[in-house]
Amino acid sequence: MNNPPRIGLTGGIGSGKTTCAQIFMELGIPVYSSDDRAKQLMNTDPILKSSLIGAFGFETYLSDGTLNREFLSKIVFGDPEKVKQINAIVHPAVRRDFESWAKKKHSVPYILQESALLFEIGSHTVFDKMILVDAPIDLRVARVMRRDNVPKKAVVARMSKQWSSEKKRALAHYIIENDGHRGLIKQVINIHLELQELRIPTH
């Protein structure tokens, strides 16, 4: 039995990719949320936990075995190399988990993986199609400031760690414009209808 086509869903912070993922789910499409699963795996995957402890020490986890997010945040704050180190440990674990999840999905037209960094970590090359959710940067900044109750400076700093919209748009197969003027649901449905026509050849 063939596995369904794999579609990547990405977008910079504040673009609205999570909202789009929810619409796809309402259409009956299985969506793997990389951020949600990463948080779960950091608390449950023994190999991942061991790797994090090996890299950052036993204080990485609290006495009850849960991730010490405050400790880890202090370590990586303002240190790009430490961020890269964590990503190098966590991203492969998420990839393994996604592969296991994907192999169990049948009888659906396609599956989605939602992640903010699919382009940045080079994962876009493994998908059959890539969907980018985009919005004007000023609108994205305002959304995140409102959502996370953080100052503009903090949002801009987080954005600086992600690729520019221009770079992502050049590689995307589909672009959802979440600028508040074009209907989001209609755009998602149009892409959904096209993706349902995808077929992976039998080998």
Length of the chain: 203
Which residues does 93 contact at the CB level (< 8 Å), separation at least 6?
38, 41, 45, 47, 48, 51
Threshold 0.85, pTM exceeds: yes
Give per-residue pLDDT as tens, 54-78. 999 999 999 999 999 999 988 887 7
Give per-residue pLDDT as tens, 89-135. 999 999 999 999 999 998 899 999 999 989 988 889 999 999 999 99
Mean residue pLDDT of the chain comes to 91
193 half-sphere exposure, CB direction, 13 A CA radius: 6
- Give percent of the chain with pLDDT exceeding 70: 97
> Could you say which of 3.40.50.2000, 3.90.1280.10, 3.40.50.300, 3.40.50.150 is the CATH number of the domain covering 6-195?
3.40.50.300
